[in-house]
């Protein structure tokens, strides 16, 4: 029986790989650079350089959540973001950037408020939304930009 495979992009080099869902906890590595791949549908907080690698090299759209752990609307959006990442696994990479830890990244991308969500595809910004949204509106907004 064939194992279902889902697209996922490598945080190290940005290459999109097919991730076998039946890997049962075994490490799955990038076919290009041999770095461990993230589990599809999970939200991770990669280092800034890894976020830039995804933004510029991933063939999948990348949704970046710029947030602060002390921001109530940011905390409210977290479960919505988790559900979206799970539903859209293989279609969109979802990452978070803590602006308190990485203010230079937020400043460099013109982030002025949290939460701010930005969709990138192949190095180009496809949309930006500041503030919390209802789950259905947020899902439609992401879908229209990815």
Would you please indicate which residues are annotated as catalytic (active-site) residues? 71, 74
Q: What is the largest CA-CA distance in the chain?
A: 50
Q: Where are the beta strands (DSSP E) in the chain?
A: 5-9, 16-20, 62-67, 93-98, 116-121, 124-130
Write the DSSP symbol of residue 36. Answer: B
d(CA 66, CA 50): 15
Say if CB 6 and CB 18 are below 8 A apart: yes
Q: Which of 44, 42, 52 is nearest to 96 (CA)?
A: 44
């Amino acid at each position: 029986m064939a194992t279902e495979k889902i697209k996922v992009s490598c945080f190290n080099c940005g290459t999109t790989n097919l991730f076998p869902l039946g890997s049962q906890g075994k490490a799955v590595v990038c076919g290009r650079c041999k770095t461990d791949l993230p589990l599809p549908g999970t939200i991770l907080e990669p280092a800034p350089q890894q976020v830039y690698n995804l933004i510029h090299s991933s063939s999948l759209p990348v949704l970046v959540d710029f947030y602060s752990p002390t921001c109530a609307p940011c905390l409210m959006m977290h479960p919505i973001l988790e559900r979206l990442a799970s539903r859209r696994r293989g279609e969109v990479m979802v990452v978070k950037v803590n602006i308190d830890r990485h203010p230079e990244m937020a400043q460099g991308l013109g982030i002025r408020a949290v939460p701010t969500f930005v969709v990138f595809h192949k190095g180009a910004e496809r949309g930006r939304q500041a503030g919390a949204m209802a789950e259905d509106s947020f899902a439609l907004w992401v879908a229209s930009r990815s």
